[in-house]
Amino acid sequence: MGEPLSLKNHAPESLRSELAAIGVEPYRAEQIANWIYVRGVEDFDAMTDLGRDLRVRLAQLATTRVLTFVRSETGADGTTKGVLRTAEGHVIEAVTIPEERRTTLCLSTQVGCPLACSFCATGAMGFTRNLTTAEIIDQVCRMRELLPEGQSITNVVFMGMGEPLLNLPAVVEAVKILLHPKAFALAPRRVTVSTAGLVPKIPELLEQVPVNLAVSLHATTDAVRDVLVPLNRRFPIRVLMETLRGLESITRRRPVFFEYTLLEGVNDSPEDARRLATLLKPLPAKINVIPMNSHTDSPHRPPAADVIDRFMAELALQRMTVTLRRSRGEDIDAACGQLAARETGSGPRECSTP
């Protein structure tokens, strides 16, 4: 007998053929998805509308749960960080951020990250491997168990550990599960995939799934961005912007979200704000300005309050759509740039909520 079928690796459409391959009627795919994702039932024995023989067969040939909790912590503002372990012992993190009318879940897509952005705790970890679709989706299943009664996950952002577009096939399949009416049934505008600017993969993502795109920009000149986001040396700002301007036929002018982490003395001047506005004016851009969250692995610091105010005022003067992000979960190292999955002590990039 080969490896058991990991059910969460497949959206209902592709699950049909996987089930057929192990002798189970394909139409069961949606029934099983309903149990796992809608009802939160992972034990085949409890899937009572499946015949007993089928339940026994699934128990022998298939698996549901792939992550276990190492621990979880909830901060003073209700942000909850889950530290989760894969079957072979790798540790990853997911974060839920409750707000007045929504609860956002920030997901990881890789163990570590190879892109090594200079302000990011995950980048400082190095890279181990991509997560599977099942490991991405199980973060949703596990983290919703921690929510208070009556609360549910309303928004999902792929902004945790890792660069999602380096793990595109697994991310696309996970998005299909999030959007599928018989699974998590989220509206496409409630799912956001973030990238540091992996240019060739951006149209590939948006041609496959109709999600929001967020771009971690963080700088307005190649000289600064080359240092903050080393991927910029391969795909400089001009190339990134041309690619984004070319997306209109796919996205039909859906907004593109830009993350701009403010770092003291690096990218926080009024000139930076004016350059940012000039760069983004041709796009349906929404800018999220995030003052840096301190963590021990980074040489950077957040700017002083008056510097942040001047930066925001300049963007407002340029009539840009811009939001200043309150930091969430800083006391539990769950804020932007702090995800680093230390198994002991406080531990885990940039969860933000478009």
The site for ligand SF4 (CB under 6 A) is made up of 113, 115-117, 120, 122-123, 161-163, 196, 216, 349-350
Q: Is 93 a catalytic residue?
A: yes
DSSP assignment of 204-255, as one string? HHHHH---EEEEE---SSHHHHHHHSGGGGTS-HHHHHHHHHTTHHHHTT--
Q: Is 336 a catalytic residue?
A: yes
Q: How many CB atoms lie within 10 A of CB 70?
A: 16
Active-site position among 113, 141, 336, 351 = 336
- For residue 116 the two structure tokens come to 């090594």
Q: Least distance to ligand SF4 from the beta carbon of 209, Å?
A: 20
Q: Least distance to ligand SF4 from the beta carbon of 38, Å?
A: 31
Instruction: Report which residue's Cβ sits closest to ligand SF4.
Output: 123
Q: Least distance to ligand SF4 from the beta carbon of 167, Å?
A: 11
- CA 185 and chain centroid, separation: 17
Based on CB atoms, which residue is closest to ligand SF4, 80 or 232? 232
Based on CB atoms, which residue is closest to ligand SF4, 16 or 349? 349
Based on CB atoms, which residue is closest to ligand SF4, 5 or 116? 116
Q: CB-hemisphere CA count at 13 Å for 346?
A: 15
Active-site position among 93, 173, 259, 350 = 93
Between CA 183 and CA 172 the distance in angstroms is 15
**Unique residue bearing structure tokens 């990039």:** 349
β pairing state of 91-98 and 103-106: antiparallel
Based on CB atoms, which residue is closest to ligand SF4, 314 or 350? 350
Q: Least distance to ligand SF4 from the beta carbon of 301, Å?
A: 17
Q: Least distance to ligand SF4 from the beta carbon of 102, Å?
A: 23
Q: What are phi and psi of 307, to 5 degrees?
A: -70, -40
Buried b (16+ CB within 10 A) or exposed e, 103-126: bbbbbbbbbbbebbbbbbbbbbbe
Show which residues are catalytic: 93, 336
